A and B are shown apart, each in its own frame.
Chain A
Amino acid sequence: MAYLDVRGLAKSYVTRRGTTHVLGGVDLTVDEGEFVAVVGYSGSGKTTLVSLIAGLLVPDAGDIVLDGARVDAPGPERGIVFQQYSLLPWMTVYENVALAIDAVNAEKSAAERRAITEDLIRLVNLTPARDKRPGQLSGGMRQRVAVARGLGMAPKVLLMDEPFSALDALTRATLQDELTRIWGERRCTVILITNDVDEAILLADRIYPMTPGPGAVLGDAIEVALPRPRSRRHMSLSPAYQKARHGLVDFLRNARRGVA
C-alpha cells in the first residue's frame, strides 16, 4: 500500500435545489517524499478533494489511508495551505506561524519552539515582516506565511489548494521558484492542487488530471521525467516537458468533450 492511499472517494452536496455530485470515485496514491499535483478545470471539485483528504469534510464513500492509519478527522499530520491563505488577521506573521508550531510541538520547550518558528519564517524569506499583520502584507507575502504555517505542522503530507491562484503572474512565478527551493530543502510529501498545467509540471513528480465535474474522477497519473533542479526557462524546450504537457492537455480537452 502506498504512503497515502485514496480509494473510491465520492462526495455529493445536497442543497435545496437538488443533489450535486462533485466527486464520483477518486483514486489517488502518493509515495513518501513524493510531490504529486492534481490538475483540473476550475469548479471541477479540486477543493472538495483537498477538504476530504484534510478531514474537514466527510466523504459519502471511499477510504483515505495515510501511513497505515485511516483518516476520519482533521489533524496537523495533513498540513494544509488554503487557497484564501486563511491567516488569522489579528495575529502577526510570527504568531500565525507559532500557532501551528506550538500546536504540534507541545512537548518541546518554549525556546525550541521559538527557534523552529524563526527558522520557518527565514525559510520563506519573511524575517523582516515577522511582526506585521496579514493586512499589511501583499498577497505573495501572505501566501508565504501560509506555506510556513503549513510546513510548521510538520505534516506527513502537505496539502496545497491552488496556493498561487490568487496571485499575479510575476509573484506566482517567484513563489513557484521558492516552493521548488523549499521542497528541495525539506523533501516533504506534497499534494498540490492547481489549474495551471505548467505549474504542475514545474513542481511535481507525477500529475493526476481531473475530469470536469459533476462526478469528477482522476485520470491515470502522468510522470514528469524532468531532472531536478528544474528551471522554468529551459524546461519548455525539453522533450520530457512536451510529453507531459501534451498528455495532460489532451486528457483535459477530451474529458471536457466527454470522450475520456
Chain B
Amino acid sequence: MVRFERTGGHYIYIEVQNIEYRVYFEENGGGIPLLCQHTAGSDGRQWRHILNDDEITSRYRVVAPDLPYHGKSLPPESIEWWKEEYRLTKSFFIDFLVEFSRALGLEKPVFIGGCMSGCLAPYLALERPDDFRAVIGLETVLCSEEVPLDFWDHPRISNNYKAAVMWSLMAPGTPEKYRRETMWEFAQSEPSVLKGDFNYYFREHDLRGKASQIDTSRVRVYLLTGEYDPVASPEDTRQLAKQIKGAKFVEMKGLGHLSLCEDHQVLKRYLMPILKEIAEA
C-alpha cells in the first residue's frame, strides 16, 4: 500500500540583506507556528520526525526551512558566490529567520534550533523580542571555544569525515537507523558549508555580557541539552541558563549533541511539556 506523509515542501523567494534567495521549506500542521532550524552543515530533513508527529502538528504549524546554501535552498543567482568562501554570519542568520517568518506570515513563532541554531535561540530573544514568543535552544552554550577549522573543508578529506565525527556526538543508545541517517545528511552538504557555518558557531557566537540582558517576560527561553553531549555539556548550558533570568534549563537523559534528530521519541519527552506550556500561556 502506498503511504503519503502530510508534510509538504515548497519554495519561496525572499530578500535578505538585499539579496534574493530561493528558499526551500517543509511544513505540516496548524496552530502556533513552530519554526524549526537545522544544525550546521545539514538541512531541514533533520526535523522530519517532528514534522510528522500528529501530537505536535495538531497544535502547531511546524515549518522547517533549509538555510540558503543548505539542502534544497541553492546559493543565490544574483551574486558570484563561487568567488569567495561561504561564511554564515550571525547577522544574516537572524535576518533570514525574521524575513522568512514574515514572508510566511508566521505570527510570533516559537523558534527551536539545535547546535548552532540552538546557540542562536538566545540571540533571537535578545535582539528580536518582538518577533518571537518563545525560543527553545538545544545544545546551547554561552560562547564557543575557537577551534582550527581547516580540516572541515580540505581537498584530501572527504565528507565522510564529517559524518564520522557526528557518530560519537550522539548518545550510545541512539537507534542505529537514525544515527546513520543523521550522518548521511551531514555527508551530503556541499563540502565548504559546515566550515562556513562554523564561522558563526565558533567565531561569532559569544553571549558573554549579553545573556543577562534577555527579557524572558517578552520571550520565553528554554534551554535543553543532552546528557551525552561532548560539545555543549549539560553543565555548560546550565551555566548559561543561570545568566538568563527566567530561562528554564532541562538536561535530556539519553540524548547527545544532535538531539533534534537522534531519537525523536526521547526528545518528545522533554519537548512536549514545553510546547504545552507555551500553547497554554
A, B: real partners: no
Residue numbers of A with Cβ under 8 A of B are none
Residue numbers of B with Cβ under 8 A of A are none
